Amino acid sequence: MGIKEIKSSLTGDKYYKVKHKSGLNIYVYEKEDYSGSYAVFGTKYGSINTRFSANDGEIVTVPDGIAHYLEHKLFESEDGDAFAKYAKTGANANAFTSFDKTCYLFSTTDNFKESLEILLDFVQTPYFTDETVAKEQGIIGQEIKMYDDSPDWRVMFNLLECLYHNHPVKIDIAGTVESIAKITPEKLYQCYNTFYNLNNMALCVCGKARLDEVLEVADRLLKPSDDVKITNYFEDEPYEIVKNFAEQNLPVALPMFNIGFKSDGKERTTAAEQASLDVLLAMIFSSVSPLHRKLLDKELINQNFDYEVFEGPGYSSIILGGESRKPEEVYSCIKEYIKELKDKGLSKKDYEICKKAIYGDTMSSLNSISSIGNNLIDSHFTDREFFSYVDAVYNLQFEQVESAFDKFVDYNNSALSVIK
């Protein structure tokens, strides 16, 4: 078992990376003066991983929504529910399934070791029967219907259906009522045995917990596992969008919109590209930008306006969201402004302001144990070193932002989704 100390030359912060004898990668970021601890145990397995092979075997296709279903089922075991166990330690526990990962987490000020024992135990102890799987179909079916009626959810997935022809990122994370009806205990065990292999997982701990505490629990509870070579299969995704507009009627106080700019997602962004995009989006869309002021002055948007880089294996887009009585006009103004910037160039003054703001935000995020834990696991699953993003923002050059603008923002390859 090798322990590696990784230190930031900029901040002096450090964390430990351990390749445990079980195959699991463990990260511990000690914060001596903190009263709480945060732990996240995740697998590189999300809703998009529905076609795969293990150890170069046959290609398997499983129902949409099975990763989310599996997340729900793991909390149940023969000896009770994991949430009931956490209630006894006082830990605040949760879990989530995204497009490309599934994570189980808790935060606590007391009884850290007992809570970590619960986490490592239930995630490694699957228990699926015909009866429990059938029972869950009704529960998740209700959840899917709830999402179908959620304006926030629908405006996003309607946009993804505009942007993506074949990539499973356009399919609801929870699947459909029809797809989850095809889930069986055998399929759940097949997915679990493939993706919940410890070599495909990571444990990240941050806060007052100590490395020796974490390793003591890990040595007792982690079950050694043979590495499984996993290959995921996705259909080829064209660069061009499917269509540029989608609209749906749902009960909302104000019309909602999402705007997406699709780019080539064949390669994951580097830390430098990530930093470039974050500064670029702040320059174009943040509250200090001329575009944002113009949209506010014309009463086309309100304070509920946000933006993000949306990327994962095989997909990459920039997504904006907000509320407006005239979403089509917002879309038109944004495209015109981007075209203007493409013609006349970006402002170096705006770049300097936004680079400082992003660097400040990055530094302040190092005071949040949940932010550190979540970013550590993201870094692991994207093969990036955690502090590389801090370095990339600090060392960022204006020319890198210009390059990201050319590469990732194509106003012609964009779409608008509206909920009226």
Q: Which whole number is the average pLDDT over 309-314? A: 96
Residue 240 has a pLDDT of 97
Q: Please tell me whether residue 346 adopts helix, strand or coil conformation.
A: coil
Token pair of 181 as six digits: 């009806």
- Give yes or no for a contact between 140 and 69, defined as CB atoms under 8 angstroms apart: yes
Long-range pairs, 359-365, Cβ under 8 A, ≥24: 359/393, 359/394, 362/389, 362/390, 362/393, 363/11, 363/390
| Residue 42 pLDDT exceeds 90 | yes
Residues 267 and 199 in one domain: no
Residue 22 has a pLDDT of 96
Q: Please tell me whether residue 323 adopts helix, strand or coil conformation.
A: strand
Is 184 a domain residue?
yes
Is 322 a domain residue?
yes
Q: How far apart, in whole angstroms, are the C-alpha atoms of residue 127 and residue 201? A: 19
Least Cα distance to 241 among 313, 167, 326 occurs for 167
Residues 71 and 181 in one domain: yes
Is 23 a domain residue?
yes
Residues 199 and 264 in one domain: no
Is 240 a domain residue?
no
Query: Which amino acid, one-letter code, is at 375?
Result: N
Residues 249 and 228 in one domain: no
Residue 26 has a pLDDT of 98
- Give yes or no for a contact between 420 and 248, defined as CB atoms under 8 angstroms apart: yes
Residue 248 has a pLDDT of 97
Query: Which residues on neighbouring strands pair with residue 51, listed in sequence order?
Result: 61
Residues 401 and 314 in one domain: yes
Residues 262 and 410 in one domain: yes
Q: Where are the alpha helices (DSSP H) in 90-210?
A: 112-123, 130-148, 151-163, 177-180, 185-195
- pLDDT, tens only, 185-197: 999 999 999 999 9
Residue 281: its H or E element: helix 271-285
Residues 130 and 32 in one domain: yes
Least Cα distance to 401 among 271, 277, 290, 263 occurs for 277
Residues 269 and 221 in one domain: no
Give 186's contacts (C-beta < 8 A, 6+ positions apart): none
Last residue of a domain, one of 209, 232, 255: 232
Last residue of a domain, one of 232, 258, 284: 232
Is 237 a domain residue?
no
On average, the pLDDT of the chain sits at: 96
Last residue of a domain, one of 203, 232, 261: 232
Residues 297 and 342 in one domain: yes
Q: Which whole number is the average pLDDT over 166-171? A: 97
Is 174 a domain residue?
yes
Q: Please tell me whether residue 1 adopts helix, strand or coil conformation.
A: coil
Residues 204 and 254 in one domain: no
Phi, psi of 230 (to 5 degrees): -105, 130
Is 153 a domain residue?
yes
- pLDDT, tens only, 218-275: 999 999 988 999 999 999 999 999 999 999 999 999 999 999 999 998 888 999 999 9
Residue 356's domain comprises 245-419
Least Cα distance to 302 among 254, 245, 350 occurs for 254
To the nearest whole percent, how much of the chain has pLDDT over 70?
A: 100
Phi, psi of 278 (to 5 degrees): -65, -40
pLDDT band at residue 334 using 50, 70 and 90 as cut-offs: very high
Least Cα distance to 66 among 50, 55, 53, 79 occurs for 50
Residues 227 and 264 in one domain: no
| Catalytic positions | 71
Phi, psi of 95 (to 5 degrees): -160, 160
Is 77 a domain residue?
yes
User: Which CATH number characterizes residue 340's domain?
Assistant: 3.30.830.10
- pLDDT, tens only, 121-165: 999 999 999 998 988 888 899 999 999 999 999 999 999 999 999
Residues 321 and 345 in one domain: yes
Least Cα distance to 331 among 249, 404, 417 occurs for 417
Residue 91 has a pLDDT of 97
pLDDT band at residue 1 using 50, 70 and 90 as cut-offs: confident
Give 246's contacts (C-beta < 8 A, 6+ positions apart): 158, 159, 161, 162, 415, 416, 417, 418
- Give ∠ CA 89-92-95 in degrees, rounded to 5: 120
Residue 266 has a pLDDT of 85
Residue 226 has a pLDDT of 87
pLDDT band at residue 29 using 50, 70 and 90 as cut-offs: very high
- pLDDT, tens only, 57-87: 999 999 999 999 999 999 988 777 899 999 9
Domains: count for the chain: 2
| Residue 180 pLDDT exceeds 80 | yes
Strands 14-19 and 37-43: unpaired
- pLDDT, tens only, 386-420: 999 999 999 999 999 999 999 999 999 999 999 99
